[in-house]
Structure 1
């Protein structure tokens, strides 16, 4: 009778614990599905379902495949993201080819339950793996589009735990009821603690991954609104140590001649700002992929310092063009993890796009502000910079000078020698102006044969001395075009000043033009300032 009671009680305990363990297994599966749904809902990008299953080959689903793969490796389960219409947007146990031809999941019981009741559970046996799986599914919403996150957990561990429990119950039946109750209570506490620990670990990993994604989004947003390359370098210098703590690195950009990489920014003190190297010295550029330089392996030639050997080079490519490289140094004791490499690659993509856009913007700005023939600044540049010249003059309490220049008898060069000869004269004059102007001088071509030079921070005597020296340099400059002398070239100029002759560009240009024409009427090849105009006025009054 006692044996029968113990046997019946053991069967009751077995059924009760099996139900309890199954309930917890289902609860854990649903919790993991909810964690995956929350993680996917926070991912950036457009995952709107395509009209057909083959549409998932679109590049916009690459980030989804990568991220759920990392999550699946973390939780040890199969993850599937399903559209409301049953299309499979991502599955961690399917190859890319299998995914493109995946069967429609709209009729899966767990999917139907999730859409109808907010969660779904079902158990099926995998014909391929010959293993029973517990499928849990919950709905999620991204940008107004409803999807289903499904997690598949193998039940072999559950059955193993169930078998172990039965063995314990058989042994416990021999030792008595109290021992069986104690073991049952201990197993319940252990299972609850395991579930709680796993949930806490998953939440921590989701928070960490979400924080990293937010930081990457912030970095991309800041790079997108940079005004110039130095700003972009400063942002990388300040944000990369936050995304990759303890990692030193450098940003090297391709120069305009595209024959050197120059280190523009560095963090961690491993590289030296201003260093330059040949693009061929970096294997990442030659292979167009991320390259590891480690001891006894293929090492980039630009890593001459043995302290830099453990390095990762990330090529910056935009629209098929190399714009630079990001160098990161890893320590031998702690190589980069796969997640850190994924972060570094994402940083490289954002940086490449930003650098390419900024270089394009600089090129367009130069084209808008430079005269295409002489490469001097144009009138638009003069108009945009005029306020800064006024501010500088007011701050230093020094006048600035506008020298209006016109080439004497320029029409004859076009008439006698052709327009190519006229263009040659203008380009030679531009080179001469470049040679004579300093950091406080700005030379511009206003149009045709008219030029202007802005001079700041000097008194009247120096402005006249500079103008006269420039006139003499032009007069003494030999002009030979296609082996033929063009004859003597001279200039006439009028000198106006701020604030004596006005506080607007139009006023100074008008005054400079008037004095320029005085110089023309006086015989050309001379400089006219306010003093010469006054002398002419007195002479005319006397006559």
Structure 2
């Protein structure tokens, strides 16, 4: 009887060892599958040129590795100008979502400040954070998460995070894998940012920072077609700096550049709605394309910027001076049906504004 009992215990131990080895084999198999996926991640990220495509691809790849229908994946990037943290891509399951907690919560701020990866198996028992004080805008439950900074050398580009409404959804191996994906993603993001800077240099005026004329012309036909399909208004402003030659003659060409740069900056800041396009049309001329804008609204905006420019004090060789602008306005489809008709209409309206004595706005 004792021998039978010992035999059974021996069998139980062997079965336990077999189960343990099976779990190890399955975990190892999953690890092989995950790391094999990294080759595809590298290839797919390398095909992305824009920052938007890179961000979406990276979050999608993270979803393949860690996601399910309840998992939320958020990619944060630092803004190139302000340095503030902002959401670049977010999804829950396979669906893209629009989260409002743009600057991140305490978990994200911890990763940003320490530049270290973060694993929380259960937010209710992790005493580094007070989960009761951490509220997300979409009111989702967060019980576990992994997060890691996006680093290229010593430079932080942002962070990527995966959170779940269930505790112990992630382990140290998951965090290690996320960090590997983040390293690949960080290089792709830096390349996309570099590509965007190079692309902007190709379409931006070096003096004013405004778009070049050829970029405006390329966009024009697309915008007219889109507004034709949507049956919506679009307006075009042609702007000229009044008596600009006199500034060059009196103060020199360097001073003329200062005037152009100042006025160009004012236009870029004023017409900052999504889709609006401000370009240096040539010499001292500026052109503005205003999508989804009626002629009435365009004239109102043109007069507002005219007043702002006239009120702006410009210091040239220690002398305070002012400059004025004349503006011509034309709208699609009210005044024109084609790109050339719209440009010609705004140009003729600009000519009338000058004939009125300048510092004026005229429309077709």
Alignment match, 2:57 = 235
Match of 1:336 among 171, 174, 177: 171
1:406, CA displacement in angstroms? 1.5
1:438-449 to structure 2, matched below 5 A, reads 439=273, 441-449=276-284
Cα offsets for 1:475-530 (capped at 9, x unmatched) = 454444464222x523234444445556235x544554455445545644444555
SS in 2 for 1:365: helix
Structure 1 contact 260–277 (Cα < 8 Å) conserved: no
Alignment match, 1:421 = 255
Structure 2 contact 84–103 (Cα < 8 Å) conserved: no
Q: Does 1:217 align with 2:45?
A: no
Cα offsets for 1:268-310 (capped at 9, x unmatched) = 79x9742336999536874x66454679999589997498696
Q: 1:327 to 1:446 in 2, by over 3 A?
A: same
Q: 1:496 to 1:211 in 2, by over 3 A?
A: same
| Alpha-carbon distance in 1 for matches of 2:152, 2:208 | 31
- Aligned alpha-carbon RMSD (Å): 4.5
1:450, CA displacement in angstroms? 0.8
Structure 1 contact 282–301 (Cα < 8 Å) conserved: no
Question: Which structure: larger Rg?
Answer: 1
Alignment match, 1:250 = 74
Uncovered stretches (5+) of structure 2, i.e. residues with no partner = 1-18, 136-140
- Count of matched residue positions in the alignment of Structure 1 and Structure 2: 331
| Alpha-carbon distance in 2 for matches of 1:261, 1:460 | 38
Uncovered stretches (5+) of structure 1, i.e. residues with no partner = 1-196, 531-543
1:449, CA displacement in angstroms? 0.8
Match of 1:226 among 48, 51, 56: 48
Q: Which has the higher contact order (CA 8 A, sep 6+)?
A: 2
1:242, CA displacement in angstroms? 3.1
Q: 1:243 to 1:410 in 2, by over 3 A?
A: same
1:394, CA displacement in angstroms? 0.8
Structure 1 contact 442–454 (Cα < 8 Å) conserved: yes
1:109-508 to structure 2, matched below 5 A, reads 208-209=30-31, 211-244=33-66, 249-257=73-81, 259-264=83-88, 265=90, 267=92, 273-276=101-104, 281-282=109-110, 286=114, 290-292=117-119, 299=128, 305=134, 311-328=145-162, 336=171, 338=173, 340-434=174-268, 436-437=270-271, 439=273, 441-481=276-316, 483-486=318-321, 488-498=322-332, 500-501=335-336, 503-505=338-340, 508=342
Structure 2 contact 235–330 (Cα < 8 Å) conserved: yes
Cα offsets for 1:298-353 (capped at 9, x unmatched) = 95899974986965432322254211223345876576154x34422321222112
1:378, CA displacement in angstroms? 2.6
Alignment match, 1:153 = none
SS in 1 for 2:211: coil
| Alpha-carbon distance in 2 for matches of 1:253, 1:482 | 42
